[in-house]
Structure formats: structure tokens, C-alpha cells
Amino acid sequence: MTTTTSSLFFFVSNFVILGMVKKMATTKYDEKSIKILEGLEAVRKRPGMYIGSTDRRGLHHLIWEIVDNAIDECINGYGDYIKISLNTDGSVTVEDHGRGVPIGMHESGMSTPEVIYTILHAGGKFEEGGYKVSGGLHGVGASVVNALSTEMDVTIYKEGQINTIQFRDGGHVFQKLMKIGTTNKTGTTVRFKPDPTIFKSTNFSFTTVTERMQESAFLLSGLTIEVVDEETKRNVKYRYENGLISFVEYINEGKNVLHKVISFDGIKQGIEVEIALQYQEGYNENILSFVNNVKTGDGGSHETGFKTGITKAFNEYAKANGILKGKDASFDGSDVREGLSAVINLKIPEAQLQFEGQTKGKLGTPEARVVTEQITYENMKFFLEENRETALMIVEKASRSKIAREAARKAREAARNDKGREKKDKILSGKLAKATGKDSQKNELFLVEGDSAGGSAKTGRNRETQAILPLRGKVLNCEKASDSDIHNNEELNTLTYAIGAGIGADFRPEDSNYGKVIIMTDADDDGAHIQILLLTFFYRFMRPLIEAGMLYIAKPPLYGLDFGKFKEYVATDEELEEKKRTVKQAYKVQRFKGLGEMNADELYETTMNPATRSLIKVSITDAAVAEKRVTVLMGDKVEPRKEWIEENVDFTLEDNFKR
């Protein structure tokens, strides 16, 4: 099931195809299969219409599509185990222990599996009505995966038999449904290999798969999901008995929490609401929401309702208990969300589902706001009344936030006509090499590790659009820092002032003096550490800068190849190996240990010149994942940090593009 008009059209047209097949009983199989292949060909011509894109995201969408079918079978009460294997040949195997796809003949004359895996939209979607259905781009069907794969094998364990059907080259039947053995098990196994002519890359990410599967395991208590990477032999198994409570405990792992996880649920107007939440000592707000087990990454009406409900409950409680005095005194929503981690899951009947936004990641359904607000308000009111100690602790925290917020506002107002500004300007002028151009959109701020590289960057840069701010030594670890710690830190203070768009809740990306902020460090461990410290700062205190796509990481080359008459640069060890294999001319290899080893021109040409450089755009693909990563990386525990850096030094860095 999908909400896009285009897919609806295909549903209708394929329905017509099937109807036609039935009427024209004498139609040759060939003609029928031509129609089907035309349908699959349409998917191959415009894959984006079915799976959103053909980048990493679209590639992984293939797995979600197949896994969703397996999950549906489990939700229906058949099987409690799903296994996903990333195979060494680039294919993926998904296995469930459900009833097995029906193996009888379909009225069209084809076997049911052939129908499900070759006809758009015929597959996987079970009983009518109910809560089945997912948001956004989900549920386009297994046939779409088949259309975009060079190989797809389906093995069905059912009725004592093992049957298999195989497809090649975008859904052409290679082996019709055939019995290959006997069994006493039931279930479905699908193996598919994405077509490299369609996808930009066909490398699956173990981390991407495990992160999403862990989320599914949290939402579906009792379901076991195993993920195996056959190449590296990594293997994880997720199973949670306590659903959202386990989820919140996981989010707050390693943090100092104020109380046990609070959880409640309710049903109104046919909408089921389930919520778990917990406050921790820190300042961050962390709300995750789902609808029918699919993440609503951009929130929507249910999140709005939750926020309103919680604000109302705390304001009433604080007033009734004399903590907030006076008619006008009340908490802002942001006060009662400081340090709050929450997971919201709604079950909404298909007919009421509405999604918004480009990626359909935002819930629109208006009833969801009202229902979630009421259920949240009623349950939180009850909880606060029954748990005085915890209630007072949270209210006290909200009060501190309110005081700090009001103080910050006064400080900001004072700063507008402040003499301290001259002092800051003076500090800044000694460090920052400003750009001469006045178009802030076009201007770029390079944050450079060390004074010597800073010097080269200042000499080599394009003065009109590029500003340089050298950073000395290690940046403050912001994971544990408060606003005032940041304000007292000279390095970050200077950085904040240079960007000129405020900090924390007051940060406004549109006020930034620069369209791009670019972190430029050495390509070594120290450089990686500085990157992470800076990313933590930006994540915690200037998150909208990241969300606006304005934060980048420069990619200095690792090697220079000196051919005598000219030089070439390579970014990775793999690329160097490739050069060694293919280049016949003689050259000298120079390894750059740091930015400082390049002269100013070299640094500009390789790393700063928009025409030739590579930049990595920093993105937060997933708030929960980013939050977890930042906590793991920057928190007190050393082991997970070490492991994580080894696995993903790239934060959530995605696109690697030239510009």
C-alpha cells in the first residue's frame, strides 16, 4: 500500500492486466508475460518513483521492503524470528518462520508466488483493513525488489514441501515454482541481488541494517531479529520483551536518569497510543515517534499532541503545588522537555492515515494530535499526582530551565548594546581571517586544525569567499558541558561569535555569516578526534546548522604523486593501489601526514578550491542514531567509543560530492 498517486495508477493498470488475462482465456502465456515484463520494466526505467532514490537509501529500501513482508507475517501471529544475511556475493537473504507464501495456482494460470513477485502490488499485503500499512514509500511490494535485482530466489517451506521459484535480470522467470524437497518447517526465504546498473552503489551497510532492525525489535516485543554480515562474520540478535520501555532505557543508557521509565497507553477514536518516557540529567530533548511501526522522522500531529499534553500536565501540577506562582508564570514547552527522552508509537487505521512532507515522514492525521494530547495529559497528570518525589524532581528541573532561559534572554538583550562586543571583535580579529565578499550565502568558514595549517590556508585561500579560523589544540568535549561552560570556553566562544548566528535554543542558521562551515583537519587519528569533538559541539549547540546542510568536512588527500612535470593527488589507500596498478609512468609517492605538509597552493588546489575539492556533507539521518552515537562517543565509557571510531569514523556523513 502506498500513498503516491503514481503507484495507485500502477495498481489499477495491473488489476486490469489480470482481469484481461482471465477474460481472454486463449491469450498466450507469452502475451501475458510481456505485459508483466512491461510493468517490471517501468520500475526499472523510473526506480525513484517506487523506492524514492537509487542511492544508499534506495538500495536499503529493498531490504526494508522484503523485511516488512516478513514482519507483517509475524504481526499476524505467525513466526517470531527473522534473519537477514548480507552475503559475500552482494546478495541479501531474508528468512522468516511464518506460514510460507501460498504455493497454489492463481486464477491467472500462474503460481501464487509468481504473481506476488512479478506483478506490481499483488504481493505481500494481507488481510483487508486493520492496521496493516506503512507510511511514506513503504510497501511498494516484493515485485519492485525483483524488478531491480539481477537475481531473486524465493524458497517456501509449507505443507511438508520445499518449493522454489527463481527470477533473473529484473524479474524474468528463470525457474518456475518447483518442489525441491520435503520439510517439517514453515516459512519464506527470499534472496535477492540488487542490479548494479540501477544502483549507484550495491554495498549494503551492516550498521544501517542493524540500527533499523533494532528499532523494529523494540517496537515488536518478543520478535527476534538476527542480522549477519557474512563478509566480516559480524552477527547481532535483537529481542526485547518490554517494547518501548526497553527502547527508552536503551536511548538513556549511560546517562544519569531521574526516575524509572514512565509508560502508558490508551485508545480513542480507533487510534491506539503507546508512550514511554524518562528524564535524564542532561539538557537534550529526544523524542522519537512511529506510526504503525514505521518511523515518522519528521514528527507530525502525534508529536505535537504529546508535547502539548505534557506541557499542560506539568504546568497544572506546578501551579496546583505552588511552584509556579502568579497568573502569567508558566513553563515553556522547551522547559518541560529538557532532558526528556520519549518514544511514541501510534496505531492508526489505514483510512485515517495522512502523511506530509517530501519523504512522507511527517504524520498529518489531525485526530492523532487530539488523541495523543488527551492520553498524554490524563496519564501524566495521574502519574504526577501519584509520584510526588519524581514529580518534584522533574518540575525542579523545568524551573531551572525556565530561569536559565529568562537569564539568557536578558543577557542577549544586554549584549545587543554591549561594550563586550568590542572585546570579542578584538579577540576575533587576531584569529579569524575574514572573507572580503559580503554575500554570506557564498562565504565559507574553514575551521582549521593548528596554526601552521591555518597559516597555509590563509595564504592559499580565495580571499573573497573563504574565511579561516585556526583552532588550537583539542576542542572542549561538549557532551557534558552546559551553556555556560560553552560561553566560558574561549575557543568555542570565538567560533560561535565568528558564525554569528547565536547558540543553543537561540541559534538561527539564517543569521549565519557563512553558507558553509567546513571542518578541515589532518587525515589522522588526532584529526578524526577533533572532527568528532567539533561535530559534538555542532550537534549539541547548533543542530539547525547541520539540519540546514551547512556543515561540511574537508577531505585532504592522503598522497601526492609527483610525476616531475605535474602532480596528482589521491584520497585513499584504495585509490593509491589502483594508481599503482594502472599508471605506467614513473612517479614519486609522497604521503601527507598533515595539512601542514602541503604548501599553500597545494592545500588550496587539493582541499579548498570548490572546483577540485571533495567535501563531505554532515547529515543527521536519524535523530536517535545520532544521539546514541554522540553519547557513546563523547560519554564516559571508553570501550564503546573505541569500537565505534574504528567502525564509523564518518559520523553520519553521507554524500561525498564535489562542488
Give catalytic residues, as residue numbers. Answer: 449, 522, 524, 526
Q: Is 73 in the site for ligand 28F (CB under 6 A)?
A: yes
C-alpha cell at 346: 501510534
CA-angle at 633, arms to 261 and 362, nearest 5°: 55
Q: Is 66 in the site for ligand 28F (CB under 6 A)?
A: yes
Instruction: Single out the segment in contact with ligand 28F by CB under 6 A; choices: 92-100, 281-289, 379-387, 647-655.
Output: 92-100
| Shortest distance (Å) from residue 106 CB to ligand 28F | 8
In terms of DSSP H, where are the helices of 321-419? 333-336, 366-386, 388-416
Q: Is 132 in the site for ligand 28F (CB under 6 A)?
A: no
| Shortest distance (Å) from residue 90 CB to ligand 28F | 18
Find the helix or strand (DSSP H, E) in which 444 lies.
strand 444-449
Find the binder of ligand 28F among 7, 54, 69, 284 (CB under 6 A).
69
- Minimum CB distance to ligand 28F smaller for 125 or for 579: 125
- Minimum CB distance to ligand 28F smaller for 62 or for 468: 62
Q: Which of residues 141-170 bind ligand 28F (CB under 6 A)?
A: none
- Minimum CB distance to ligand 28F smaller for 126 or for 174: 126
- What burial class does residue 126 get, using C-beta atoms within 10 Å of its C-beta: 0-12 exposed, 13-18 middle, 19+ buried? exposed
- Minimum CB distance to ligand 28F smaller for 50 or for 117: 117
| Shortest distance (Å) from residue 38 CB to ligand 28F | 22
- Minimum CB distance to ligand 28F smaller for 133 or for 632: 133
Instruction: Single out the segment in contact with ligand 28F by CB under 6 A; choices: 67-75, 361-369, 421-429, 535-543.
Output: 67-75
d(CA 212, CA 138): 14
- Minimum CB distance to ligand 28F smaller for 69 or for 372: 69
CB-CB contact of 127 with 180 (8 Å): no
- Minimum CB distance to ligand 28F smaller for 101 or for 363: 101
3-state secondary structure 563-630: CCCCEEEECCHHHHHHHHHHCCCCCEEEECCCHHHCCHHHHHHHHHCCCCCEEEECCCCCHHHHHHHH
Instruction: Single out the segment in contact with ligand 28F by CB under 6 A; choices: 64-72, 160-168, 225-233, 332-340.
Output: 64-72
User: Which residue has its beta carbon closest to ligand 28F?
Assistant: 69
Q: Is 102 in the site for ligand 28F (CB under 6 A)?
A: yes
| Shortest distance (Å) from residue 164 CB to ligand 28F | 13
- Minimum CB distance to ligand 28F smaller for 101 or for 177: 101
- The DSSP annotation for 163-217 comes to EEEEEETTTEEEEEEEEEEE-S--EEEEEEEE-TTTSS--PPPHHHHHHHHHHHH
Beta-carbon count within 10 A of 274 CB: 19
Does the CA dihedral 146-148-153-157 come out positive or negative? negative
Find the binder of ligand 28F among 65, 96, 522, 627 (CB under 6 A).
96
Q: Which of residues 353-392 bind ligand 28F (CB under 6 A)?
A: none
d(CA 70, CA 97): 8
Q: Is 114 in the site for ligand 28F (CB under 6 A)?
A: no
Find the binder of ligand 28F among 9, 29, 126, 657 (CB under 6 A).
126
| Shortest distance (Å) from residue 94 CB to ligand 28F | 4
Residue of 185, 165, 182 lying closest to 111 (CA atoms) = 165
Residue 442 CA, distance from chain mean position = 28
Q: Is 101 in the site for ligand 28F (CB under 6 A)?
A: yes
Residue of 225, 220, 288 lying closest to 252 (CA atoms) = 288
Q: Which of residues 495-524 bind ligand 28F (CB under 6 A)?
A: none
Q: What is the identity of the amino acid at 82?
A: I
HSE-CB for 434 with a 13 A CA cutoff: 15
Q: Is 140 in the site for ligand 28F (CB under 6 A)?
A: no
Q: Using CB under 6 A as the criterion, what x/- string covers residues 190-219 for binding ligand 28F?
A: x-----------------------------
Please report, for residues 530, 596, 634, the alpha-carbon distance to residue 525 in angstroms, rounded to integers and kept in the order given. 9, 15, 15
In the 8-state DSSP scheme, what is residue 465? T
| Shortest distance (Å) from residue 101 CB to ligand 28F | 5
CB-CB contact of 67 with 208 (8 Å): no
CA-angle at 136, arms to 132 and 142, nearest 5°: 65
| Shortest distance (Å) from residue 272 CB to ligand 28F | 24
Q: Is 299 in the site for ligand 28F (CB under 6 A)?
A: no
Instruction: Single out the segment in contact with ligand 28F by CB under 6 A; choices: 8-16, 62-70, 252-260, 417-425.
Output: 62-70
CA-angle at 541, arms to 647 and 214, nearest 5°: 40
Interaction site with ligand 28F (CB under 6 A):
66, 69-70, 73, 94, 96, 98-99, 101-102, 116, 124, 126, 188, 190
